[in-house]
Amino acid sequence: MISKSATIFFFLYGAAVLGQDLGIGRSLAMGNSGTALGGMETSMFNASAWSSISGFGIGAYHQRHFMNDDISTNGLLLGLPIGNSALGLQLANYGVDGLYSETRVGMAYARQFGPNLSMGTQLNFHQLQISRYVNTKVYSLDLGVRYLVNERWSLGLAGGNLANAAYEAEWAAELPMRLRLGAAYAMSPELLLVADQVYSPNESRHDFRLGLEYSISNLVLIRGGTALNPFMHFMGLGLHGNQFQLDFSSAIHRRLGVSPQIVLGYGF
């Protein structure tokens, strides 16, 4: 068990920085980036990513923050394509059992406009609970655009919490606004490079993120990346079958330690 003071520190740091801004699976391992990529996992950063799914998909993930059993994130993803559109559902909970809980439920709609352009929006419900102190709710809105320049290049532009929603509690963790610009470049059939520029207006903070994905085979992928502000490293391994997907990822903070994550997905 961790001390009370350490627990409080991890609560506030994690909710404001890691709990709100760590990606899922592939996007986490590739430098916590992927605004220009498609798929359920990258929908965390860009709602338009939902439009690229080809069939009904479900995914579940678990993350231990700082290698500590007391602090974790658990989530569920559901995606359903409908013609040239798609519906998405995100469920996530960050916190410590019985003491602190931050829950987010997101409902997304994305649509393709021709073969190159897709747009998406997501409405999020947030609930913050701190035992005997706080129980507050708020809604936020995300928007995203993705453009396929050619077979190698794709671009993404997204905004999270664009209405700058905030909890009413006086000392609750912020809901950060995030503005993202991303690019992805397929250097070869095996090697993918991604880069994101992220701006947080509430904190007047810029962050540059860079990631790589290398396909050893059709079944095995290795990933890595880095982020500059805060400075962090990321790494991961993907095992993909025809319909089955298993991803191992880790975020590495030089002072707080390692936050490993596992994602299990299945497509129908």
> What are the residue ranges spanned by the domains of the chain?
4-267
Q: CA 169 to CA 133: how far, in whole Å?
A: 9
- Mean pLDDT value across residues 193-214: 95
Confidence band for 197, pLDDT divided at 50, 70 and 90: very high
CB crowding 186-202: b at 16 or more within 10 Å, else e: eeeeeebebbbebebee
CB crowding 244-266: b at 16 or more within 10 Å, else e: ebebbbbbebeebeebbbebebe
CATH superfamily of 4-267: monomeric porin ompg (2.40.160.40)
3-state secondary structure of 166: coil
196 vs 135, more confident? 196
Q: E strands along 21-115, which residues?
A: 57-64, 72-82, 85-96, 100-113
pLDDT in tens, 258-267: 999 999 999 8
Residue 57: is its pLDDT beyond 70?
A: yes
Closest CA to 123 of 172, 83, 181, 163: 163
pLDDT in tens, 69-105: 788 999 999 999 999 999 999 999 998 877 888 899 9
Q: How far separated are the first and last CA of the chain, in Å rounded?
A: 41
pLDDT in tens, 8-22: 545 554 444 445 578
pLDDT (0 to 100) of residue 66: 82
Q: CA 112 to CA 46: how far, in whole Å?
A: 14
Q: For all residues of the chain together, what is the average pLDDT?
A: 89
Closest CA to 48 of 139, 111, 90: 111
Confidence band for 131, pLDDT divided at 50, 70 and 90: confident
Say if residues 39 and 57 touch (Cβ distance below 8 Å): no
Bridge partners, residue 207, by sequence: 198
